[in-house]
């Protein structure tokens, strides 16, 4: 599987991996956990995107790290804010999701990528790049990962098969310079001696005979159609209650919710109607309220997505007036 992965990474993502610079993991969560334990000492400072991925924060904290939030905007992580931080504090590592920032889905701009790599090289900062949904881009070719342009050996690159095969498969990987990978492996074997060789052989075959590449091409079309179906349905039944930009890739829409709507209560009501989504509180570093929601579109088919949008509209109309009404026009009255 390490051979198959390194071939795939070198040929499709420009990441110069070899079997000896790849470690197979049980999904990217294990990659984050083991890498954090191998890399970090108690008290080390790790900069994280905020909004961001709670699973990564937990892994870093359990390794003893102290997290420092860095804001994100329409170009991804604010490298200027990170640079200011690095001047003041001994930041050891930064965790980023440049391909589609999680949860906002923003693609990190080319300029920011170059600035981040150069900042990391200057300050010996480790970049933990989580490329969890690399395959899902709907507008031509995607930008290559940071790991593809890393000349200084700053990047530890992580990926997963959870999004292209199944999360229940628990299969992912880490790529890093060989001495770093050897150290990470020595931490993994403390709890997971061999990985799951049977599954790994089966996955390697799927890579080698081209089945995975064909599957990804089919999924890309399917997911693009699902994205478009959700967008059309939301526009039709929710009108101005949500605003969003069409994401060029990824598996979710990041929607701004009208200020008069309490998005967390709306999510609760929707769940009671069988539709699950998260408000932004889930991704906020301090767990604060923010008027945004992340709406996944890959799990349901197009009819189901249309039905989900209808149920979300019903849930919104059911909210107590205090949760969605301002003086004159309530969101529900606009549905």
Ligand X SMILES: Cc1ncc(COP(=O)(O)O)c(C=O)c1O
Residues interacting with ligand X, by CB under 6 A? 27-29, 53, 97, 102, 130, 132, 160, 162, 167, 172
What is the rounded distance in angstroms from the CA atom of residue 22 to the CA atom of residue 41? Answer: 23
- We find the least distance from the C-beta atom of residue 196 to ligand X, in angstroms, to be 14
- Token pair, residue 197, equals 């060789």
In the complex, which residue's CB is closest to ligand X?
A: 27
Q: Report the SS3 class of residue 142.
A: coil
Q: Please say which residue, 149 or 298, places its beta carbon nearer to ligand X.
A: 298
d(CA 44, CA 67): 8
CB 53, min distance to ligand X, A: 4
Specify the residue, 55 or 153, whose C-beta has the smaller distance to ligand X: 55
| Coil, helix or strand at residue 290 | coil
Which helix (H) or strand (E) covers residue 238, if one does? helix 211-238
* Cβ 71 to ligand X shortest distance, Å: 17
Alpha helices for 144-297 (secondary structure H)? 178-188, 197-208, 211-238, 263-272
Please, are residues 167 and 28 in contact by the beta-carbon 8 Å criterion?
no
Best CA proximity match to 239, nearest among 316, 318, 328, 327: 316
Measure the CA–CA gap between 206 and 64, rounded to whole angstroms.
Answer: 38
| Beta carbon nearer to ligand X, 130 or 262 | 130
The residue (of 200 and 307) whose beta carbon lies closer to ligand X is: 200
Query: In the complex, what is the shortest distance from the CB of residue 249 to ligand X, in angstroms, rounded to a whole number?
Result: 14
CB of 50 to ligand X, least distance (A): 13
> Nearest distance from residue 172's CB to ligand X, in Å?
5
What angle, 0 to 180 degrees and rounded to 10, lies between the N-to-C axes of helices 197-208 and 211-238?
90
Identity of the residue, 152 or 202, whose beta carbon is nearer to ligand X in the bound complex: 202
């Amino acid at each position: 599987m390490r051979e198959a992965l390194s071939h795939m990474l070198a040929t499709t993502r420009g990441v110069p991996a070899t079997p000896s610079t790849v470690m197979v993991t049980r999904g990217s969560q294990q990659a984050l956990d083991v890498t954090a334990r191998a890399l970090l000492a108690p008290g080390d400072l790790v900069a994280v995107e905020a909004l961001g991925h709670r699973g990564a924060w937990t892994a870093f904290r359990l390794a003893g790290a102290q997290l420092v939030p860095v804001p994100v905007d329409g170009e991804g992580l604010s490298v200027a804010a990170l640079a200011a931080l690095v001047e003041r504090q001994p930041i050891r590592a930064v965790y980023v999701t440049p391909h589609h920032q999680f949860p906002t889905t923003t693609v990190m701009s080319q300029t920011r990528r170059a600035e981040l790599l150069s900042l990391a090289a200057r300050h010996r900062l480790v970049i933990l790049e989580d490329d969890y949904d690399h395959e899902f881009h709907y507008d031509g070719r995607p930008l290559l990962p940071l790991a593809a342009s890393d000349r200084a050996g700053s990047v530890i690159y992580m990926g997963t098969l959870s999004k292209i095969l199944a999360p229940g498969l628990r299969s992912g990987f880490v790529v890093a310079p060989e001495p770093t990978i050897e150290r990470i492996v020595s931490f993994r074997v403390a709890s997971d001696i061999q990985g799951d060789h049977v599954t790994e052989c089966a996955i390697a075959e799927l890579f080698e005979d081209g089945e995975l590449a064909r599957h990804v091409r089919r999924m890309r079309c399917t997911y693009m159609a699902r994205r478009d179906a959700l967008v059309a349905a939301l526009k039709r039944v929710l009108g101005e209650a949500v605003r969003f930009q069409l994401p060029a890739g990824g598996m979710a829409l990041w929607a701004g919710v009208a200020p008069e709507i309490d998005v967390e209560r709306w999510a609760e009501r929707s769940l009671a109607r069988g539709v699950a989504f998260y408000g932004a509180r889930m991704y906020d570093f301090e767990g604060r309220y923010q008027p945004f929601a992340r709406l996944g579109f890959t799990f349901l088919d197009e009819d189901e997505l249309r039905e989900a949008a209808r149920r979300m509209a019903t849930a919104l109309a059911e909210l107590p007036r205090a949760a969605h009404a301002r003086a004159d026009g309530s969101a529900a009255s606009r549905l």
